[in-house]
Structure 1
Amino acid sequence: MFKYTQIFRGTAFSSKSSKEIQVLKDYLFCINADGMIEKVVAPEDADYQELLNRYRGKENFHQLAEGQYFLPGFVDLHVHAPQWAQSGTALDIPLSDWLNTYTFPIESKFSDLNFAKEVYEDLVSTLLANGTTTSLYFATVHKEASLLLAEICANKGQRGLVGKVVMDDPEQTPEFYRDADIQTALADTEEFIIAVKELAKTTKQGVYPVVTPRFIPSCTDGALKGLGELADKYDTHIQSHCSESDWAHGYVKERFNKNDAFALHDFGLLGDKAVMAHCNFLDDEDVELFAETGTAISHCPISNAYFANSVIPVAHFHSKGVDIGLGSDVSGGFSPSLFDNARQAVMSSRMLEDGVNPSLPAEKRGVANSRITINEAFYLATAGGGESLSLPIGRLQENYAWDVQIIDTKIASAKLPIFDANENLTDIFQKIMYLVRPENILEVWVQGNKVHNRTV
């Protein structure tokens, strides 16, 4: 009689802290029927050989081949699911033009459930193939299509946190794409929450409803107040955009005579299950409010390079005790890969620290102590995302979900430059983070279930 549903053996990389990588060489990971890591066993532990003898050769024993490694599954904290249909287009125009000319017309098409199904199925499969095991999604204003996205996540095995978007202010939203009125927006949101909670009862990896005001400029005060009350009533996650750009930050300040963070807090939209995207223009009082309430930040480095008018000071915010994870922001960010976003997070932070205006002297050009390392970017994509969502995900340790991507460094079409059989494992980790492409992701597992297998 075997105690564990599955045992995996191989070398893994996980975050020990926000700055330090833990290398688990030739470890055993013992997975229970709930898809949780029940036991992690090092080669020097007393029961290592006994477990090997008992399970090796059995169907539920998984041994990595040479050149293969475990990484935790990535946690993407900001995906506009309908915008997958426009990814890679119109990124060179101003945000307001981008929204009104491309984004709102695309999102309005999701009243057609056949179109929604085609796009959402492709997106969820694509994210899984890129190693993303958990996604925090903005859907659209359409209740039925938003529920369909949650169902697709459930069926494909991804842990999906899905929000029916609310945008009801006629002054800031187009007539062809908005909630009919406050009452409709709130009623649809409540029905959506109830339906997703029901769906979750039959889903091993979990699906979650998310209260989702698009951002303050698109919502009336009544809608924002009602959404805060619904989040409290049903204890849901919350997501929105916060202080993303000069325009958005300035608009809220003019409307409420306060910054986004405090306005959102007044409506009951901050808390330890709240994730706010971007947050480039938070001041220290805003950051302290985030830390105090447990509100997390979704850092979207590729998208920020196009639309945010600044580089977010990740290192500074982290030093203040704010949870931060990584977001692709499809399609303001062109890439569905958190590998790409982790790389950009490092590059952007170095540009902030070193400065970009060559006409200034070097000592005045940048913001000191702003750079982050690839270790920190990896943390944002994994453990930081899990902490931001208050879920036991993003680490390869006991009592966490078995959400992993198996990286193959030897695949012929995307072989990593590892020529020394005894190369330092931390160096191999860095090569993985900087060089892996989707072809290198051999398998993806969520909550102990295999959900993606690379076609060779």
Structure 2
Amino acid sequence: MATSAPTAVAVTVAVTAAGKNQLFLGSFVDSAKLDELRYLHDAAVAVDAAGTIVAVEQPCDEQKARLTVLPRLGWAADAVEVHVAKPGQFFFPGFIDTHLHASQYPNVGIFGKSTLLDWLNTYTFPLEASLADPSKARQVYSRVIRKTLSHGTTCAAYYATVDVASTNLLADLCVAAGQRALVGRVCMDQLSPAYYRDESPEAALAATRASIAHISAIDPELALVRPVLTPRFAPSCSAPLMRGLGALAAEMPHLPIQTHISENTNEIALVRELFPPASTGALDDSYAAVYDAFGLLTDRTILAHGVHLSEAEADLIAARRAKVSHCPCSNSAITSGAARVRWLLDKHISCGLGTDMSGGYSPSVLEAARLAALVSRHVAMGGDEKAKLSVEEVLFLATRGGADVVGLADVVGAFAVGMHWDAQLVGLGDVNADGEVEGDRDEDNNVDVFGWETWPERVAKWVYNGDDRNTKRVWVKGRLVHERK
């Protein structure tokens, strides 16, 4: 398993602001569809000052671009910023992390010996509560933003804490750093420590509205950062709170919703105990039916995990067009189980990948992609051979699939005219005849390419061996937000 090397690396966040037309030249790789990558070599992508892709041309070198593409766009050549990929480098869409707890980042890798519910009380709730301290919250949130950007994550669906000020600070820092994000104030008024919960359903809804108002004020067009309704999970929310959040979701149909579902068998049993159908009006006693009964299962809903969904639940999720965030790292680390992603996809349920820190131990969506591939093989070894996910498929989940999950399918995730330039420059190590690395000249490069590999083989090497050392630059909406030096 690849890990980041402990070398001194200069990382610059929010390096440049958008505002200048840009031209990108080299090889571009993105997902054409679920099981197919598209390779554009010797190509050019033009990005306007607003960060939108306005032209994709192939074949096209810099000379042709200056003679044909730039004049067609009405751009003066001397006013365009040009980026040329070096040998061994290619442009790839930014990763989309559809589920992570920014407030839990300091606990990454700390699982103890507990199961999900014990882990929450032992490790998670004390840490989250401590982030009411603004200096501590700033330290944690600044680091998680920098860390995820360094791994190529251009968009993240963040859970914050119950504290309004702490949640608002996370949104402020995302805007400042230039990371696209969904930021949610966590709602929970039961089955959590008295020191860390909402005082009442009314207090939770008022605090949620306050956070929504703040985020809407700092980004009025919600172009970069959006608020997201965040009932932590059904057991931590009373029926009145769930009902109130459902009403808020109906009142604000532009807002996404994020929560957890069917992560752990004990959790599922607890939901049945707390929300009998007679008290909720649910179709049955399933986890999905509870969310549906309260108006929280919609085409804007992001459901994390979905490890133990029944056939009926999956059919209901598909009917409501809700989405699933697959979190293979945390599902394995906390011993929750192996989600059947192929089964979900076959039911036409959109899926993306989540790092789910700190249940997951890594901030890397690339790590989540390779673990998704490996977990799918464990499912296949259980008798479902077609469950296996290919390199092409896990990269789709990491980009276009994730974009659909967070409601940005037409905005990010691929290199197409009209979409935003949310991208990363990936560098691999070209090994010369003497066994030395050429290309981007990074002696620390952990992916060795010898020259005889096909492009699909190179990408496979990156998926299974790569990490943040391969992420050379990252842009969000045309703005350079990370650079490895």
TM band (smaller chain)? over 0.9
2:20 touches 2:48 (CA, 8 Å); kept in 1? Answer: yes
CA distance in 2, matches of 1:117, 1:43: 46
In the TM superposition, residue 70 of structure 1 has moved relative to its aligned partner by 0.7
In the TM superposition, residue 57 of structure 1 has moved relative to its aligned partner by 7.3
CA distance in 2, matches of 1:271, 1:53: 43
* 2:78 paired with 1:60: no
CA distance in 2, matches of 1:57, 1:36: 20
* 2:427 paired with 1:397: no
* 2:105 paired with 1:84: yes
In the TM superposition, residue 176 of structure 1 has moved relative to its aligned partner by 1.0
Partner-residue secondary structure (3-state), 1:162 = strand
Q: Deviations over 1:187-207 (max 9, x none)?
A: 00011112111211277x510
2:261 touches 2:303 (CA, 8 Å); kept in 1? Answer: yes
In the TM superposition, residue 367 of structure 1 has moved relative to its aligned partner by 2.7
In the TM superposition, residue 429 of structure 1 has moved relative to its aligned partner by 1.4
In the TM superposition, residue 428 of structure 1 has moved relative to its aligned partner by 1.3
* Matching residue of 1:37: 53
2:20 touches 2:79 (CA, 8 Å); kept in 1? Answer: no
- Counterpart mapping for 1:337-376 below 5 A: 337-355=364-382, 366-376=383-393
* 2:288 paired with 1:261: yes
Q: Structure 1 stretches of 5 or more lacking a match?
A: 356-365
* Matching residue of 1:229: 247
* Matching residue of 2:158: 137
Corresponding residue to 1:424 among 446, 450, 454: 454
2:314 touches 2:344 (CA, 8 Å); kept in 1? Answer: yes
1:91 touches 1:332 (CA, 8 Å); kept in 2? Answer: no
1:80 touches 1:330 (CA, 8 Å); kept in 2? Answer: yes
1:245 touches 1:307 (CA, 8 Å); kept in 2? Answer: no
Q: Alignment RMSD, CA only?
A: 2.0
Percentage of pairs with the same residue: 35
CA distance in 2, matches of 1:255, 1:210: 25
Q: Which amino acid aligns with 2:318?
A: A
Corresponding residue to 1:309 among 330, 336, 351: 336
CA distance in 1, matches of 2:447, 2:135: 40
Q: Using a 3 Å threshold, how does the CA distance of structure 1 residues 308 and 273 change in structure 2: closer, same or farther? A: farther
* 2:38 paired with 1:22: yes
Corresponding residue to 1:240 among 259, 262, 273: 259
Q: Using a 3 Å threshold, how does the CA distance of structure 1 residues 49 and 424 change in structure 2: closer, same or farther? A: farther
* 2:320 paired with 1:290: no
2:53 touches 2:417 (CA, 8 Å); kept in 1? Answer: yes
CA distance in 2, matches of 1:406, 1:57: 23
The more displaced of 319-328 and 88-97 is 88-97
Q: Which amino acid aligns with 2:242?
A: L
Partner-residue secondary structure (3-state), 2:459 = helix
CA distance in 2, matches of 1:22, 1:229: 42
In the TM superposition, residue 91 of structure 1 has moved relative to its aligned partner by 4.4
2:178 touches 2:481 (CA, 8 Å); kept in 1? Answer: yes
In the TM superposition, residue 33 of structure 1 has moved relative to its aligned partner by 2.2
Partner-residue secondary structure (3-state), 1:111 = coil
Q: Which amino acid aligns with 2:200?
A: D
CA distance in 1, matches of 2:32, 2:370: 20
Partner-residue secondary structure (3-state), 1:345 = helix
1:256 touches 1:263 (CA, 8 Å); kept in 2? Answer: yes
1:246 touches 1:308 (CA, 8 Å); kept in 2? Answer: no
1:228 touches 1:268 (CA, 8 Å); kept in 2? Answer: yes
Q: Using a 3 Å threshold, how does the CA distance of structure 1 residues 53 and 415 change in structure 2: closer, same or farther? A: farther
TM-score by length of 2: 0.87
CA distance in 1, matches of 2:132, 2:446: 43
CA distance in 2, matches of 1:267, 1:118: 36
Partner-residue secondary structure (3-state), 1:241 = strand
CA distance in 1, matches of 2:67, 2:269: 63
CA distance in 2, matches of 1:213, 1:97: 19
Partner-residue secondary structure (3-state), 2:474 = strand
CA distance in 1, matches of 2:66, 2:153: 33
CA distance in 1, matches of 2:37, 2:194: 50
Partner-residue secondary structure (3-state), 2:154 = strand
2:262 touches 2:305 (CA, 8 Å); kept in 1? Answer: yes
Q: Using a 3 Å threshold, how does the CA distance of structure 1 residues 29 and 125 change in structure 2: closer, same or farther? A: same
The more displaced of 126-135 and 23-32 is 23-32
TM-score by length of 1: 0.92
In the TM superposition, residue 309 of structure 1 has moved relative to its aligned partner by 2.9
In the TM superposition, residue 379 of structure 1 has moved relative to its aligned partner by 0.7
In the TM superposition, residue 416 of structure 1 has moved relative to its aligned partner by 2.1
Q: Deviations over 1:127-170 (max 9, x none)?
A: 0001000000110000110010000000000001000000101x
CA distance in 2, matches of 1:33, 1:56: 14
Equivalences, count = 439
Q: Which amino acid aligns with 2:449?
A: I
Partner-residue secondary structure (3-state), 1:134 = strand
* 2:199 paired with 1:180: yes
* 2:208 paired with 1:208: no
Corresponding residue to 1:378 among 387, 395, 416: 395
Name which structure has the greater RCO, CA cutoff 8 Å, separation 6+: 2
* Matching residue of 1:324: 351
